[in-house]
Structure 1
């Protein structure tokens, strides 16, 4: 993925071995990374047990939030694709007992459908 794609927020699949090594301190016994997608500096990590949203914050990216969502807690999700005048796509994930969804922005040419398909695979199984 090029720097231009990064700046536009385009999602792309990333090397799962590298992500698994980086997340080794938060993965549980028997948990492994199945798929991972990068959007700018953030990650959507699909493991065999949960969805991990990795949000790198600040200029240096040293501050990191790891948001773990068990698949059974996801009640529904939606994808809004970009239009002619709306330059970005959006993914929303609702978690049980919360009224406000987790919302993530993607660039117009992002592969948001691939992320949505991965989410559907894990939530619906």
Structure 2
């Protein structure tokens, strides 16, 4: 649970750490390149919420969140910048 996703007004920043926590990967995805997106809330048996983004020139990027994450709020933020 050390991985982080940060959504700003211009981009999504993703920080993925390796098993030991010493190796880090930073990826910045510009919101203006999003062509489509999908949000799936957590359910009774499937406790993870999901966010899928389709970027021009990159393809699909999928994020999984714990059931506590307010994906409706994420949906609102992304829709504000994309639509």
Structure 1: state its 5+ residue gaps.
1-39
State the shift of 1:79 in Å. Answer: 0.7
**Aligned equivalent of 2:18, options 36, 57, 73:** 57
Greater fraction of residues in strand = 2
2:6 aligned residue = 45
| Deviations 1:98-119, CA, capped at 9 Å, x for gaps | 44x1111112232222223222
1:77 aligned residue = 37
TM-score, scaled to structure 2: 0.77
Structure 2: state its 5+ residue gaps.
none
Note the aligned Cα RMSD (angstroms): 1.9
Largest Rg, 1 or 2 = 1
Partner SS, residue 32 of structure 2: helix
| Number of residue equivalences | 83
Equivalent residues of 2:10, 2:32 under 8 A apart: no
Aligned equivalents of 2:53, 2:43: Cα separation in 1: 21
> Are residues 1:105 and 2:64 paired?
yes
> Are residues 1:121 and 2:46 paired?
no
Q: Which runs of 4 or more aligned residues in structure 1 lie more than 4 Å from their structure 2 counterparts after TM superposition? A: none
TM-score, scaled to structure 1: 0.56
